[in-house]
Amino acid sequence: MTIAGAVFVLTLVSIVWCGVPYGGKCRVDGVQLLREWVTKCVPRSYSGVQKVVFVRGGMRSVWKWRVWHDAAGRSRMELIEPMLGRDSVIISDGKTTWHVIGGGKVVIQSQDVFRAPWEVNAERLDLLLQNYRVNALGKEEICKRECYIVSFEPHYNFNPSRKVWLDADAYIPLKVEDYNPDGTLAWQMEYEEFSIDERISPLLFQPSISKETKIINWGFSRKGPFRISELPTNLGFTPLLPASLPSGYTFDKAFVIELPGWQGKPVLHLIYTDGLNVISVFESKEAMLGEHPKPHKHGKPMQFFVPQSVVLRHVGNVRVVFISRISKSVLEQMAQSISAPVK
């Protein structure tokens, strides 16, 4: 695996099951299950084998990981498939993430943590319920554990939809299916093996670093979150806000980030949400001739596996990029509502 590919995997896991039908009706409704998920899902130690399938342009990409999580919030993921990256290990202690590749020859270190893309924001639960129909579809066994099936169907058809198989005891998602706005499958996460409340050695959450290990500090930094009224004034450009948002969406928060290769130029990250899905808007000062970041010598950046709509606009001296799972036509309408500030 190249270092560029390793950086992508680290970013993907930062942004990313075996099922047997089980008889019986679900005795609770979807909203009740959702509320129990966000209140009863407490940190517990578990391990297993997790398979993630991405579908893009009719092609399927399969990633399989052996995973460990402990009640302290630490995690370890070892890549099993594809074969090309089987030497890849990702370790997080809740504050720092290490991506170990080449059997320990290279370690990419980042002061950030990754979160699963199927997590629900408890602070936005009411907004989610305004924009989605949450239904209980019944029960199934996943890895010999009883699970509730919960679906999230959007009120607005330009949004993606989702199904989650929640462990009935631990309220941990053991299977997730995410669908594009047109109803086609975008990605699926599934546990093929799962064990809970077993003792996990703390040594698993310590990266193996020797004198020969090449350590790369992934210089990603982030400040925030900020409210609209708190946006910094030293960005080198005036922040641009869309005049109209897709139905159901509201401003959530903003961050200022600095990325390697951008010569210290800040990027404003605006986040809008409908309670489940998000729209990310990245704004930065237009690069002058010779200021564009150079491609990494170890290879070209890999594309996102999850299908996303992307819209690029140039407004005055500001480059604005819109990224979301919503329909591209709706994202384009949001992008067109941005205009340069009046001087």
- pLDDT tens column, 17-35: 222 333 344 456 899 999 9
Instruction: For the domain covering 219-336, report its CATH number.
Output: 3.30.200.100
Q: Residue 116 pLDDT more than 90?
A: no
- Residue 114: its pLDDT value, please? 60
- Residue 29: its pLDDT value, please? 86
Average pLDDT over residues 76-100: 84
- Residue 83: its pLDDT value, please? 67
Architecture of the domain whose range is 3-205: Clam (2.50)
Q: Residue 43 pLDDT more than 90?
A: no
- Residue 258: its pLDDT value, please? 81
All CATH 3.30.200.100 domain ranges in the chain, comma separated: 219-336
- The overall average pLDDT reported for the chain is 83
- Residue 131: its pLDDT value, please? 98
CB atoms within 10 A of CB 154: 20
Q: With bands split at pLDDT 50, 70 and 90, how would you rate the model's confidence at 191?
A: very high
Give the three-state DSSP class for 144: coil
- Residue 66: its pLDDT value, please? 95
- Residue 18: its pLDDT value, please? 27
Q: Residue 100 pLDDT more than 80?
A: yes
Q: Residue 40 pLDDT more than 90?
A: no
- Residue 112: its pLDDT value, please? 65
- Give the Cα separation of 9 and 77 in Å (integer): 11
The answer to whether the beta carbons of residues 279 and 246 sit under 8 Å apart is yes
Average pLDDT over residues 53-76: 90
- Residue 86: its pLDDT value, please? 67
Q: Residue 50 pLDDT more than 70?
A: yes
- Residue 154: its pLDDT value, please? 98
Percent of the chain clearing pLDDT 70 (strictly above) = 81
295 preceded by cis ω (within 30°)?
no
Average pLDDT over residues 177-193: 95
The answer to whether the beta carbons of residues 250 and 127 sit under 8 Å apart is yes
Strand partners, 56: 59
- Residue 188: its pLDDT value, please? 95
Pairing of strands 250-258, 214-217: unpaired
pTM metric for this prediction: 0.84
Question: Which residues lie below 8 Å from residue 255, measured CB to CB, with a gap of 6+?
Answer: 222, 223, 224, 225, 226, 268, 269, 271
Q: What is the pLDDT of residues 283-333, one digit of tens each?
A: 998 764 444 444 443 333 333 457 789 999 999 889 999 999 999 999 999
All CATH 2.50.20.10 domain ranges in the chain, comma separated: 3-205
Q: Residue 46 pLDDT more than 70?
A: yes
- Give the Cα separation of 162 and 186 in Å (integer): 10
Q: What is the pLDDT of residues 147-180, one digit of tens each?
A: 999 999 999 999 999 999 999 999 999 999 999 9
